[in-house]
Amino acid sequence: MLILNDPTLVNRIPDPDIRSLVQQRFSEICAGEPYDNDLHGYMIVVEPGDSVEVLEQEIGWPILRNFFDDTHYGEPDFSPPFEVLEEHASCYEMVFILSDGGSGIAIFIPKHPGIAADLLAMCAEYAVPATAATALAQS
């Protein structure tokens, strides 16, 4: 997984569409002020072979199970834990807000072979289409 706790790291993202989207998100979140990890949070790009368990350990929050009752994805009472999950052409964008100040983690899940099947299935089921306001700005 690529952990991006600095906007200068976006060049490490191999997929040009995801790289542009992450770059746009850093720009929107910072809104002209210097990037501060504690204030603005950070971003993650999931890579082929990454397990959901390792991703959950990184963010300190469950993704495929409920935080309070441990209901798992696929069970009738499962309720997704994220704030937002949007579908873009090349990836899903999952957002967790961690503080009242708005600091959070944005996770970009590519629609590529090798990405955890259960993670992609949950994203496909719960994601809403990105709107013109949230989709990658076309230059």
For residues 103-115, give the mean pLDDT. 95
Domain membership flag for residue 97 = yes
What is the residue-averaged pLDDT of the chain? Answer: 92
Average the pLDDT over 91-101 and give the result: 90
- Checking if the pLDDT of 134 tops 80, the result is no
- Give the span between the Cα atoms of 83 and 124, in whole angstroms: 16
**What average pLDDT does the segment 92-118 reach?**
92
**Assigned domain for 78 exists:** yes
Q: Is residue 134 part of a domain?
A: no
Range of the domain at 78: 2-129
Structural domain contains residue 12: yes
Number of domains in the chain: 1
Amino acid at 139: S
Between CA 103 and CA 122 the distance in angstroms is 24
- Residue 138 confidence (pLDDT): 45
- Rounded to an integer, the average pLDDT of 101-127 is 95
Strands (DSSP E) found in 42-138: 42-45, 84-87, 91-97, 104-110, 128-129
Indicate whether 133 pLDDT > 80.
no
In a domain, 118, yes or no: yes
Cα dihedral sign, 75-77-81-86:
positive
Q: What is the mean pLDDT of residues 89-103?
A: 89
Please report whether residue 89 resides in a domain.
yes
Of residues 104 and 124, more confidence is placed in 124
